[in-house]
Amino acid sequence: MTSIKQFQVTFDCADPERVAKFWCEVLGYVVPPAPPGFESWDAYNRALPDEEQGAAFACMDPNGVGPRLFFQRVPEGKVVKNRVHLDVRVGTGLVGQERLDALEAECVRLEALGAKRGRLLVADGVNESCQNMQDPEGNEFCLD
C-alpha cells in the first residue's frame, strides 16, 4: 500500500487573495508562479470568466517542505468554530515567561497584519501556553 506524503490545507473564505497573502506573511510562504502562458496572476485572472475571477488563490512553502495552502471563495460566511485549525509553532522548546514573551511578540506582529487575538491558554502542568487567534476572516489558529 502506498502512503500519501503530500497534502494541502484548504480554506473557505470571501477574499482568497487577501487571506492567502496574510498566511504568506504568517508562515514565510510565497505565492506560486503564475500558470504557464501568463506573466502574472492578475493576467491569469483577467482571462477567466467574470464569476471565476478572484475565486481562488494559493501559497506555498518556498522550501517545498510545508503543505500548500489553498484558498477558495465561498458564498457563505463563517458561522461556527473550525473543527480543524493550524498551530503556528513559535514557542517550540520554550517554557514559562520566555514562551509567553515569544507568543506575545508574534501575536502583536500578526495583529498588525489583521489577525485578532483570542484567549491565552496558560501552561497548566500538562500543556504549555498557547495563544488562540483568528485570521482576517475569522478562521481560528493557535500560536503554539
State residue 84's pLDDT score. Answer: 86
**Paired residues of 12 in beta bridges:** 72
pTM (two decimals): 0.87
State residue 3's pLDDT score. Answer: 73
State residue 78's pLDDT score. Answer: 82
State residue 48's pLDDT score. Answer: 93
CA dihedral 19, 22, 27, 33 (to 10 degrees): 70
Q: What residues does each domain of the chain span?
A: 8-73, 86-143
State residue 18's pLDDT score. Answer: 95
Ranges in the chain, pLDDT < 70 = 1, 4
